[in-house]
Structure 1
Amino acid sequence: MKLSVVIVNYNVRFFLSQCLASVQKAAEGLDVEVFVVDNNSTDGSYAMLRDSFPWIKLIVNHENVGFSQANNQAIRQAKGEYVLLLNPDTIVQEDTFRKVIAFMDKHPKAGGLGVRMIDGSGKFLPESKRGFPTPKASFYKIFGFTRLFPHSAVFARYYLGHLPEDKTNRIDVLAGAFMLLRKETLDQIGLLDETFFMYGEDIDLSYRIQQAGYENYYFPETTIIHYKGESTRKGSFNYVRLFYKAMLIFVRKHYATSGAWLFSLMIRFAIFFRASLSLLKRSLQWLWKPLVDAVLMFAGFSWLVPAWEQIAHEPGYYPRDLLHTVIPIYVLLFVVTLMASGAYNRHWRIRGILRSWFTAALVLLVAYSLMGEAFRFSRAIVILAAGWGLIALLPARLVMAKLGWLNYPVGKGKSNRIVSVGSHEQIQKVKEVLAHQGNRFQWLGGVVLDEKDETGDTLGTLAQLQEIARINHVDEIVYCAEDVPAGEIIRSMVQASSQSVRFRIFNSEGGFFIASHSANDAGDLILFDINAISLPENRRRKRMLDMTVSLLGFILSPFILPFVHSKKFYFSNIFNVLKGNKTWVGYSSEETETDIELPVLLPGVLSCADSSRHWEGHVDVKKINTLYAKDYRILNDLEIIRRNISKLGNTKSYDTIPEE
């Protein structure tokens, strides 16, 4: 056996599918075995692997044991002369395996090898070649000197910025996304250190390879796509915690010896300082829009209270501490409701802002009517403040968009200018799917692979793609994975990356697009086979419906309870739905065999099969589940609830369809 490929998966089913498709092509004609270790994924990965990739060697864990331990499970079974640790959010070229194996065969002192990596926008990833995180190199990186002097041999030592990205060189650290290892080297130095749960294990292993007298190489003669951060999103608090914890483990293990304790102390301080800054930055990025709205709402209340005193009462009518006690509670309630209804999503719509405002205003008025006397000072001011929210919040967003602080409302700016690359059949399918999604776009045409395939409605060939993108001011290029070789996708992405074009890869067999638009953007995943219930706006609508029905069910319980069969669990269901443990309407779990993996839903108090007119004529529960997911409507949920008031005290939950 020449090569053993090891992939650890955790809830990245669709990226894994595309990765394995590229691995299968790269392995043609070679003696290769492929292991996939699944760390207790809950996104249908197991069923996908079983049905679509029966040729892999699958190891299933019933808990997330971490990256190092999962890799070690497969390495212990591997029979290859070389072992490749590969991330599931990568795509390799058709000739990648042949080239890296040939290089390793010619360099017996090479213990490990990494390749040139680009992100989903075609940009070079500097972690393709790294130096050891010595205290000095880590200090320069953590405090920003590496970014200021990206090509310095001193300040950019962490990313070896002085080494050209297109030349083969010896390096210190191999990137864990693509880590080719000589098996005899692993036998000598041992496997991955399982102290590292995620991050840092690649640095530790690279260090031990060099300590054993072997060499690590950066090999740019083949390039892979790494949808950076998809397995663990870079912007999350969990990423910060895991990454800096891994750096601390490495420092303690290799640099906390006598003579290096001062450096170790310094780097620990720097790590904690940078982690604090990162957490603060991410908090502010998430909180600044709610804070702006809170300030605007508080300003509105501050102006309305004295103004209404002058109009309806007399100065001093309201308590002086009103602005410091009661009103902040109303402002917080208003902003939290805006947040829950999706007002702070990255892609916003004017219609969505209006809907969020209406929901927040309604919740504010209902809350006012339910509060005690100490909190009810003036219904008129609350109504006027809600109106002020409408007048202030929408213009504020438009001003922030004009200043570049926010993206323009979806659907209100210019349409994306899109071309697709592939066969005529696949290009047409891409066009139909994009139209089905309902997003605004301007279809420019298709790009075929060869001149002989050109027709009157194509723009040109793949070789001309860079020029086509420039002349037509293309915003987005969609590659058809079944037609365009991975190597050609990578080559053209690199060529067009300087034009700020967005890229997506379309997999018609699996039924999805994958995309990632920058090194700091973890990427987008767009499903189209069953996508209505998966859409963020539908998720929000369903959640808001659940909360509204629960609140009304609680308020109107004296009138509803006489009709409920199991009164004991009626309030339990209300509170479980409010806490997000259940939804009022879920799938029916009576039929567990499904042709297509359905989007995950919370357990339902009621089943979508509980007599809705929308499903009349369908007796197959499997079809009803599919129709419910594919064509979700709030009115369907309301109708099911109205027809099944007697079942609102159900103790049985209709759960998501279980996997086999």
Structure 2
Amino acid sequence: MSGIRLSVLIVTYNTGADIETCLQFLAASRIDRPYEVILVDNASSDGTPERVARGFPWVRLIAERTNHGFAGGNAVALAAAQGETILLLNPDAFLRDPEALAAALAHLDAHPDVGALGPRLTFPDGRHQVGDAGYEPRPLSTLVHAAGLSGRFGLRGLYLASRQARGRAALDVDWVCGAFVLMRRAAIETIGGLESPMFLYGEDVDWGCRLRDAGWRVAYLPGIAVVHLQGGSAGTRSARWLDGLAGIYRLRNAGRLLSSPAFFSGPLQLGFTLRALAYGLAGRLKRQPELARKAEDMRRFSAHLRSLRS
């Protein structure tokens, strides 16, 4: 027996310097049990595996010649992992709080019916990052999110709203973001491993919903914060997350009423269009560039959904 109880799995693809920051914060974290770090590189062309091998010899590096995607890369790492507890950690997720991982592990230890959990994800400036947890993509949750009513009147949308991410008490959700998700190996085995029909975006929603189907709880811990750059430091959020969410919606609602992609895309497109107008007007009145950037994001998301419908 190796004695390793925790396996940290990281999948990289052209991550630049983010992976160095990620590993430095991980190394500085308080971890109260023997652990290993397994990094699978998905055929990067920017020198990521060389950077890791040179600067972090304590990381087990698996350099692949094929890009397996997020789920596929984690499946490769899981096959090599020895721990009974598995942490999936994105290369752009930073454990700035050295106690964050220990606190997450303590919660998992204390709640044997929890199969997976995730923390509150924030931007570097501390703002809550919507998309760190949520509920199964169903017709009602889609409508609630499109209308901006997540967390109001007890309604559950696709994503937890920032108002729901306040406080410190754990919340039961259907899924948590794959940027930082702590899972029991036993729970992973009940859903057949970390394979997913999704190549990139939506795998975490798929895993969480399948864990709930198998009888496990999925917990969100708003009292623990982890910084996530959300796709890197470029600042512009890709609209491709909508592709993954649309795929999961089709997968989870196959054969049911209102399962067509048009029903998923239509309400969200309208919601994003209205938010773009609201943010744009507020940005001009208040002269706040951040609101103007939000308006542009909403317009891009709406346009992307229009392309999905066509």
Is residue 2:231 matched to residue 1:229?
A: yes
* Alignment-mate amino acid for residue 120 of structure 1: P
Q: State the 1:274 CA deviation.
A: 4.9
Larger helix fraction of residues: 1
1:31 to 34, 58, 66: 34
- Evaluate the alpha carbon distance shift between residue 33 and residue 160 of structure 1 in structure 2; reply closer, same or farther with a 3 A threshold: same
Q: State the 1:97 CA deviation.
A: 2.1
Map 1:292-303 → 2, pairs under 5 A: none
Q: State the 1:194 CA deviation.
A: 3.2
- 8 Å CA contact 2:119, 2:224 repeated in 1: yes
Structure 2: distance between partners of 1:95 and 1:251: 36
Which of the two has higher C-alpha Rg?
A: 1
Map 1:22-421 → 2, pairs under 5 A: 22-26=25-29, 30-92=33-95, 93-141=97-145, 143=146, 145-146=147-148, 149-153=149-153, 157-161=157-161, 163-166=164-167, 167-230=169-232, 234-235=236-237, 239-240=238-239, 242-257=240-255, 260=256, 262-265=257-260, 267-271=261-265, 274=268
- Evaluate the alpha carbon distance shift between residue 27 and residue 33 of structure 1 in structure 2; reply closer, same or farther with a 3 A threshold: farther
Structure 2: distance between partners of 1:30 and 1:185: 20
- 8 Å CA contact 2:11, 2:42 repeated in 1: yes
1:11 maps to 14
- Evaluate the alpha carbon distance shift between residue 105 and residue 277 of structure 1 in structure 2; reply closer, same or farther with a 3 A threshold: closer
Map 1:521-540 → 2, pairs under 5 A: none
1:616 maps to none
- Evaluate the alpha carbon distance shift between residue 190 and residue 268 of structure 1 in structure 2; reply closer, same or farther with a 3 A threshold: farther
Structure 2: distance between partners of 1:251 and 1:77: 31
- 8 Å CA contact 1:113, 1:181 repeated in 2: yes
- Evaluate the alpha carbon distance shift between residue 85 and residue 253 of structure 1 in structure 2; reply closer, same or farther with a 3 A threshold: same
Structure 1: distance between partners of 2:99 and 2:265: 40
- Evaluate the alpha carbon distance shift between residue 201 and residue 11 of structure 1 in structure 2; reply closer, same or farther with a 3 A threshold: same
Q: State the 1:155 CA deviation.
A: 5.1
Unaligned 5+ runs, structure 2: 277-283, 298-310
> Could you say what secondary structure the match of 1:159 adopts?
coil
Structure 1: distance between partners of 2:33 and 2:215: 29
1:424 maps to none
Structure 2: distance between partners of 1:69 and 1:276: 34
Structure 2: distance between partners of 1:250 and 1:263: 14
Q: State the 1:176 CA deviation.
A: 1.1
1:581 maps to none
- 8 Å CA contact 1:248, 1:268 repeated in 2: no
Q: State the 1:94 CA deviation.
A: 1.1
Unaligned 5+ runs, structure 1: 283-401, 408-499, 501-516, 522-660
Larger strand fraction of residues: 2
- Deviations along 1:187-242, one digit per CA (max 9) or x if unpaired, are 1211234320111110110011111111011123321111123289754xxx43x4
- Evaluate the alpha carbon distance shift between residue 74 and residue 231 of structure 1 in structure 2; reply closer, same or farther with a 3 A threshold: farther
Structure 1: distance between partners of 2:109 and 2:288: 52
1:531 maps to none
- Larger RCO of the pair (alpha carbons < 8 Å, separation 6+): 2
- 8 Å CA contact 1:244, 1:271 repeated in 2: no
Q: State the 1:405 CA deviation.
A: 8.9
- Deviations along 1:142-197, one digit per CA (max 9) or x if unpaired, are x3x12xx4541455522344745222121111111111100011112112343201
- Evaluate the alpha carbon distance shift between residue 244 and residue 159 of structure 1 in structure 2; reply closer, same or farther with a 3 A threshold: closer
- Evaluate the alpha carbon distance shift between residue 125 and residue 49 of structure 1 in structure 2; reply closer, same or farther with a 3 A threshold: same
Identity %: 28
With normalisation by structure 2, the TM-score equals 0.79
- Evaluate the alpha carbon distance shift between residue 105 and residue 156 of structure 1 in structure 2; reply closer, same or farther with a 3 A threshold: closer
- 8 Å CA contact 2:174, 2:218 repeated in 1: yes
Structure 1: distance between partners of 2:153 and 2:83: 37
- Evaluate the alpha carbon distance shift between residue 71 and residue 152 of structure 1 in structure 2; reply closer, same or farther with a 3 A threshold: same
* Alignment-mate amino acid for residue 36 of structure 1: L
> Could you say what secondary structure the match of 2:17 adopts?
helix
